[in-house]
Each structure stands twice: as C-alpha cells, then as structure tokens.
Structure 1
C-alpha cells in the first residue's frame, strides 16, 4: 500500500494513509489534519457495516473541523473485512482489537492527544461495546444512527430470509448495502450474545450524544430513543432523516451538533 499525503483542493486540510502493524494485525487507516506537528485532539471515526475508511461523511466532518480549529485531526480506519482490509473472517473480537491498536498508535505517534469518537451505525455499536468492556478512554462520544440493537437490525432489515436459512445450514453469506461483507452464523450469534442494551451507561452518559433520524430504515428510531432515555443520554431526533443522513441539511445539523458537543469552538 502506498503512503502519501495530499491537500484537498480549496481547503487547508491534508490527508494521509497509514498502516498500523502490530501483534500480527495490519490495519489500514487514514488521517485528516492541518499540521501533523500540532495534533492535540483526535477524533476517531467509526464507519458502519460495509463501510470503509474513505468515508464521505468523515471527510466532510473533518473538513469542517480542521478548517476552523487548530490542533485537530480525524482518523478513520477499516474495520476487519471492510474496505481493503486483509482479514478473512469478521469477528467482534477483532473489531475490538482494531479500536485498541489504532488508539495506541495515535497516542504514541502524536504524544497522547485527547481522543474523541464520532461513529455511525455498526461503528456506534462497537464503540459502546468497547467502553462497557474497557471503560471510557474518550473525552466525548458522538453517535449518529447507532445500531443499538445490531442483531435485530441485521436479521430484520439487512439480511433476507434466504440469508438466514443459509447461515443455519452452516454456510456463509454476503450481506450489506453497496459493499457486502461475508459473515457466518458464529458472527451473527456473537451479535445476539453481545447485546449492549443489557448494560447501564449512566457512568458515561454525560460524555455521550446520540443523533438519530426519525425515518431510519435500518435502525429502529424507537429503540435508539429508548436506549438514550433509559441511560439519560442527550438525544437529538432529526425529523425526516434516514439512516445515512443523505439530505445535506440533515448532515449539516448532525455535524454542527457534534462540533458543539465536542466543545471545539
């Protein structure tokens, strides 16, 4: 993989691809930045199921942040089996390890900057699972369309009946949206077993903000709203927004809200 940096036309933002190689893992990642010699705060962006590090929502968010605030950077990375990642089998354990290794790399490379999280869908689920298992190392966590009940989202709205029948027979299936990911029954069972709604997030609630579209076709609005209310987490419903917030007005509302929550101003 080539390592290179480039400046986006018409902006003060640069980006560079890099890899994290440790403990037999090879993680493909990307950093958006203004000045790599002055990185004080880093936002980790967690993409959704079937996504990848070259995420347009992440790029748009990074452009807004880096053009206005000094000392900031945004890091995206491919989850296992996503994008051009080299792993063959998707597991929650590997997802957890990727988050840990990327965090460690950032802390070592940039002299322990403050870490923030902006995650969507499956990525939102993974970061919530992470803080339940490890505590919260992040200053603030913003979640857009988080897949709170990822097992139900997968079985009811992403997979079809034929997919589930194949899994029951021990076969693997390709599921997802624009880019499909291969999964087996073992992975699906792990989603059911790792139900984050069983846990309380009161200790972390002040540092979490959830943004959810009322027209989300993948993640149940009511489930996310109930999760936020049960855990006293600040919650912003965006009227008419679907899962990906494709309407620029909805995305702008989400970005502005997240930047304000991060207190970058």
Structure 2
C-alpha cells in the first residue's frame, strides 16, 4: 500500500496507470463490446471517422470496423507484451540467480552466454526465430522472450552477488540450507524490486516488436493487431491516413503509459532515486 500511495502521488505514476488501465479495459471488454469477428466486413469501405454512429472510427479499405479492430488489437498487444515479459524475466531471473550466487565457472559460462545473446539485436533475433518457427502469437512471444532475457539476468546477478556477501547467508549455511534454497527462497525475493521495473520496460519493447513483426506480416494472420492495421492502412495513406494514424496512436499511448509507469515505479520502490 505504501508503494501504491507513492505511485499515485507521482504525476508519471497516475498518468501511466490511467493509460495502462485504458488499454487493459479495451482488451478485457473487446469480446463484450464487439462480440463478432473484428475482421468481418460490416460496412462500406473507407468510411471516415465520426460519420456513422455504427462505426465511430470509420471502416478500413475492406469495410471492416476500425474501432472493433482497435479493441481486439489491444488484446494481442497486451497478451504478447505480458507473456514475453514474463518469459524474459523468468529466464533472466533463473540465469542471474545461479550466476550471481555460485560465481566461479558457473558465472563465467552463464555470462558468456548472456553476452552472446546481447550481441544480436532483439528485433533481428526475433525476426530470425519467426522465420524458423512460423508466424503465430506463440512464436512471437518466444522470439521476443528469447531476445529480452539478458537484461534481467544481469540485473538479478548484480543484486544476488551483493546480497550473497551478507553475514546472514553464512548463518543459513550453518543451518544446513543448500545453495538453491538460500539463493531462490531467501535472497531472490529481496532482489525483485529492480526486476519489476525492468518488466515494464520489457513489456513496452515487446509491444513495439510485435507491432513491427505484424507490420511485416510475420505475426498471426488470423488475429488483428495494431501493427497489421498500420500495414493495411499504408496502401491508402494519402486518401485515408487515419487508418494508420489511429492504431499508431494506440501503440504510442500503450508504450508511453507503460514507460511512465515503470519510471514512477522506480521512484516508488526507492524514494531516494526520485527526481532531483
């Protein structure tokens, strides 16, 4: 509760919460507000926004409702962002905890593996994996998660290395605890604060990468995505620019809100790092 109060006192915090809450509300209510297929043709093609009460944001070049696609696209973006962030944080936490606590050859081997993944740009690695695994939401999540885990691994490793030098760790060893129990049950909970902040950054990056992959036609072709909406609208950019601008604005709001929330969360978890 104390962290939440600090978060709400921060302007970035409540702005981020409001933006994220709006996107989450869109995703959760998509099936209720627009129960049909968002890719179904429901009206005349390229209907401008605010011209027809049945299509508040107009229709695309095939006659599909833009607002319905926007709501259902929020589902895809949030699910991919959350799942990819969870995967990256899970792998990174495991690798960083083992490397930071054991040290020695285990640390060297795991950090060299981490550096090997960091040498490849995340989007290039995701692109290569999608070409191998095939275009689907599961493939997109795996591709983004595999490329994003080195950051959390390094953060967790640094935190665990600092905590493992405390005197109470020797007391745990004297009590007969194994290294796994000490590292994961005793030290890791105290190292999760910076990881929680990093999860917001990872989720925002995952939304951007998924949108870019969908724009290139490498996401699930049967699911509407904000990136695919932009790709569909580029063919009529001069005559119906709103078809690309509306989903582009949605991506900007989602990513900016998550970034603001992450920044405010950093200050809320550690007030000493507040803005000067």
TM-score (norm 2): 0.25
Structure holding more helix per residue:
2
Q: Tell me which of the two structures has the higher relative contact order, counting C-alpha pairs closer than 8 angstroms and 6 or more residues apart.
A: 2
Structure holding more strand per residue:
1
Kindly name which structure, 1 or 2, has the bigger radius of gyration based on alpha carbons: 2
